[in-house]
Amino acid sequence: MAEKNKTYYITTPIYYPSGNMHIGHSYTTVAADAEARYRRLKGYDVMFLTGTDEHGQKIQRKAAEKGVTPKEYVDEIVANTKELWKLMNVTNDRFIRTTDDFHVAAVQKIFKRLYDQGDIYKSEYEGWYCTPCESFWTETQLVDGKCPDCGRPVERTREESYFFRLSKYQQRIIDYIESHPDFIQPVSRKNEMLNNFLRPGLEDLCVSRTSFDWGIPVTFDQKHVVYVWVDALSNYITALGYASDDDSAFKKYWPAQVHLVGKEIVRFHTIIWPALLMALDLPLPEQVYGHGWLLIDGGKMSKSKGNVVDPRILCAKYGCDAIRYFLLREVPFGADGVFTNEALIGRINADLANDLGNLVSRSVSMQLKYFGGVQPADKTFAAPDEEIRGLFAEIYANVQTQMDALQFPSALTEIWRGVSRLNKFIDETAPWVLAKTADTSDADRARLAGVMYTLLEGIRIISILIEPFMPETPAKIRAQLGIAGRHELTAWESAAQWGVYPDGTAVQKGEALFPRIDAKKELEELERIHQEAKAAATQTGAPAKEAGGSAAPAAGEDNANLITIDDFAKVQMKVAEVIAAEKVPDSDKLLKLRLNVGAETRQVVSGIAKQYSPEEMVGKKVILITNLQPAVLRGVESQGMILAATKGKKLVLVTVDGDIPAGAAIS
């Protein structure tokens, strides 16, 4: 194939091991793994890197709290992380730790080179520092006196530091981004970097610390340790042997084809990292892709809130293929999406148990019943068979297009077009009717054989296309089809060929691929686990709500949660009239609403289905927050949020009098 021996280098961020990894970390890693698997199937020579960023003040403090050394503290978490990636069938080629000796030596060489050439200089830093984010902030950058990234309190610090001349590279970075339109994806992230950070102007960057010692020592000034920017970001090249005696892997794989990162660290990877590479006279990665967040309880997952989801529990209950499928199917890659247990169970039952699982089970069972499990050579086809043949050629091409663009949900949607079409094909052709006359009519027997062939050949191709996403399931399907170990029938390129399933092949019945889940029972169990985790977080002294939460201060509390009139003015609200409403499939809580907002219409997903029917909603005038960033719930985009009040355990809509027109501003 054309891609044979062509290199493909893909990375995740290196994760900060302040605690065990949760489903949000798994989201990035599984996405990278799916792309790496796809490229390998296509014949690429893949290098897939992940790892851990283990230095810093936060790690040093956490280790001290536990009475262990920082290295002992991170060793335990790293071991758990590696076990998790193995459990989830992540096939990283290398795992880098910033405590690795080769990384330490390379970073020291990089720091010294930048200092020698004048890109790093010594000065003094005085300002605000956020320990959890490891970020320095000026007074004007703080939001209500807190970190603008995470909302936590900051500390005043003053210390001697080395600085990197980030401002020197400002225009070069702008020019590069503008001349390389695919460098930052999605495009919204590109606009954010240019308009919010680069064009307003860059300040030089603090790249060493003296207030803690858990870091890589600066060789020529031992009281300093290298700060996160040079230390952590350099992992993408030190992992390949850059600045070592053996840099053959670096020469082979750099520049990377893509850095997959969460949207909150796009800034570091598209401004600081390019500047460091430019200073080192190295090419930039081809693309930085900033995906959105998995949201829960109305905000980003946080260990201190206890609202994180443990993928180990989910994998143990439902299998890792089901969890991988959900992560890669539920949310458009690049947008924020909401994680709910209802959505997870709904996807497993609808897509995996009902659609894919039943398709394989019914097809194999019919082949066993009608032909003793062996595919006859004497078969005839009709127009529906030819239509399906054309559809699968289209699906194969579309899946590749979507995978090349890192659009995992779209690729899976394409594959499930094939699954759905084959299920419909069974109903259209009614093999059980043909079977009644197959013993007395050669024509009906041949047609029945053709129907079964179309089903089995379609399933063969599906088993290939799902392999990057669900690495365990294809082997189970192929065992039932009787083609286990037949590379010529399971290689990626064979999915482009229709009609290669061999006549005379015998199927065999297997266990259900995805047993249907008792939704009510499982949702109760998952909610219990979730509440126990939140309670445990509260008992350890963590606040029940952090910045961005929805809890109001109780009587006697301080006014830390009060906002200014300027903050309130940022929220834009309008009167909106509901012009259409329907239930979101596979959800008993969500309604999809179409709203008239005066000069435009909006689509909003709201969790009010238990209180209001779609029919009740039509005609109501509600209050819509119009300047929220769009989010995706159960695969449906929501372009705002309508207001509701809580009455006991019920939600009650906040409505307005009928005389106020749709589109009227609320102030």
DSSP string covering 307-322 = ----HHHHHHHH-HHH
Q: What's the DSSP call for residue 501?
A: S
Predicted local confidence at residue 554, as pLDDT: 29
The pLDDT of residue 665 is: 80
CATH top-level class of 565-666: mainly beta
CB 339 within 8 A of CB 470: no
Neighbours of 660 (CB within 10 A): 12
Q: Which two tokens stand for residue 514?
A: 């995805």
In this model, does residue 653 exceed pLDDT 70?
yes
- Say which residue, 571 or 281, is predicted with more confidence: 281
- Confidence (pLDDT) at 565: 55
Hey, which residues does 159 pair with through a beta bridge?
125
Quick one: pLDDT band at residue 20, thresholds 50, 70, 90? Answer: confident
Helices H, strands E: what count in the chain? 24, 26
User: Is pLDDT at 547 greater than 50 in this prediction?
Assistant: no
Per-residue burial over 526-551, b if 16 or more Cβ lie within 10 Å, else e, is beeebeebbeebeeeebeebbbebee
CB atoms within 10 A of CB 565: 6
Give SS3 for 581. strand
Q: Pick the residue with more confidence: 107 or 640?
A: 107
**What would the mean pLDDT of 277-285 be, rounded to a whole number?**
99
pLDDT(556) > 60: no
Residue 120: count other Cβ atoms within 10 Å of its Cβ.
23
User: How many residues in the chain?
Assistant: 667
Helical spans, DSSP H, in 117-202: 170-179, 187-193
For residues 616 and 409, what is the distance between their CA atoms, to the nearest angstrom?
A: 33
Higher-pLDDT residue of 54, 297: 54
Instruction: Please indicate whether residue 4 or residue 284 has the higher confidence score (pLDDT).
Output: 284
User: For the residues 550-558, what does the mean pLDDT come to?
Assistant: 29
Q: In this predicted model, what pLDDT tens digit does every residue of 339-372 receive, in sequence order?
A: 899 999 999 999 999 999 999 999 999 999 999 9
Least confident of 8-12, 75-79, 295-299, 420-424: 295-299
Q: Letter for the amino acid at 26? A: S
Mean pLDDT on 558-564: 46
CA distances from 58 to 16, 132, 228, 268, 649 (A): 10, 6, 12, 19, 39
Q: Are strands 665-666 and 573-583 parallel, antiparallel or unpaired?
A: antiparallel
Cα of first residue to Cα of last residue in the chain, in angstroms, is 62
Pick from 164, 135, 179, 196: which is nearest to 278 by CA? 164
For tokens 């309190």, the residue is: 153
Q: CA 421 to CA 403: how far, in whole Å?
A: 21
Where in the chain are the domains?
349-559, 565-666
Decide if 514 contacts 322 (C-beta within 8 A): yes
CA–CA gap between residue 250 and residue 277 (Å, rounded):
14
- Binned at pLDDT 50, 70 and 90, residue 546 comes out as very low
- How much is the average pLDDT of 580-602? 84
- Measured CA angle at 465 (ends 473, 321), to 5 deg: 30
Q: Write down the pLDDT at residue 259.
A: 99
157: confidence class by pLDDT, cuts 50, 70, 90: confident
Please list, in sequence order, all residues whose beta carbon lies within 8 angstroms of the beta carbon of residue 13, skipping any fewer than 6 positions away. 28, 53, 259, 260, 261, 262, 265
Please answer whether residues 220 and 324 qualify as being in contact, where contact means their C-beta atoms are separated by less than 8 angstroms.
no
- CA distances from residue 228 to 107, 200, 603 in whole angstroms, order as listed: 11, 24, 42
Whether the per-residue pLDDT at 3 is higher than 90: the answer is no
pLDDT surpassing 60 at residue 550 = no
Q: For 599-630, what is each residue's pLDDT tens digit?
A: 678 899 988 888 888 888 888 889 999 888 77
CA distance 576 to 578: 7
Show the tokens assigned to 415.
Answer: 């594959």
Q: What is the mean pLDDT of the chain?
A: 90
Per-residue b or e along 20-41, where b marks 16 or more CB atoms closer than 10 Å to that residue's CB: bbbbbbbbbbbbbbbbbbbbbb
User: Which pTM was predicted?
Assistant: 0.80
pLDDT of residue 224: 97
Give the model's pLDDT for residue 63.
92
Q: What is the pLDDT of residues 432-458, one digit of tens each?
A: 999 999 999 999 999 999 999 999 999
- Does position 160 have pLDDT exceeding 50, yes or no? yes
CB 415 within 8 A of CB 466: yes
* 569 pLDDT above the threshold of 50: yes
Structure tokens at 101: 């000796």
Residue 2 banded pLDDT, cuts 50, 70, 90: low
* DSSP one-letter string for 242-271: TTSS--HHHHHHPSPSEEEEEGGGHHIIII
| Tokens encoding 172 | 């070069």
Q: Which of 199-208, 325-334, 537-546 has the lowest mean pLDDT?
A: 537-546
88 CB-near residues (< 8 Å, 6+ apart): 26, 29, 30, 33, 311, 315, 320, 323, 324
Look at residue 125 in the predicted model and tell me its pLDDT. 81
The SS3 call for residue 618 is coil
CA atoms within 13 A on the CB side of 450: 19
pLDDT for the residue numbered 108 = 99
pLDDT for the residue 192 = 93
Nearest to 129 by CA among 73, 62, 57: 57
- For 250, the token pair is 């670096």
How many CB atoms within 10 Å of residue 666? 15
Instruction: Please give the single-letter amino acid code of residue 581.
Output: A
pLDDT above 80: residue 658: no
Pick 307 or 519 by higher pLDDT: 519
Least confident range of 239-243, 293-297, 378-382, 510-514: 293-297
Higher per-residue confidence, 14 vs 576: 14
> The tokens 């050439």 sit on which residue?
117
- Measured CA to CA, the distance from residue 8 to residue 48 in angstroms comes to 8
659 has a pLDDT exceeding 80: no
Q: Is 550 in a helix, a strand, or coil? A: coil
Q: How many CA atoms lie within 13 A of 14 on its CB side?
A: 25
CB 165 within 8 A of CB 204: yes
Query: Where does residue 329 fall: left (phi above 0), alpha (psi -120 to 50 degrees), or beta otherwise?
Result: alpha
Distance, in Å, from the CA atom of 552 to the CA atom of 556, rounded to the nearest integer, reads 12
Options 2.60.120.380, 1.10.760.10, 3.90.180.10, 1.10.730.10; CATH for 349-559 is 1.10.730.10
Q: How far is CA 126 from the centre of its chain?
A: 37
Q: Provide, rounded to the nearest whole percent, the portion of the chain with pLDDT above 70.
A: 92
Q: pLDDT per residue over 415-438, tens digit each?
A: 999 999 999 999 999 999 999 999
Residue-level pLDDT at 639: 87
CA atoms of 296 and 340, how far apart (whole Å): 7
Q: Are 306 and 536 spatial neighbours (Cβ–Cβ below 8 Å)?
A: yes
Helix, strand or coil, per DSSP, at residue 96: strand
* pLDDT, mean of residues 136-148: 82
Cross-strand pairs, 400:
none
Q: Rounded distance, CA 276 to CA 640, Å? A: 39
66: exposed, middle or buried (C-beta count within 10 Å: 0-12, 13-18, 19+)?
Answer: exposed
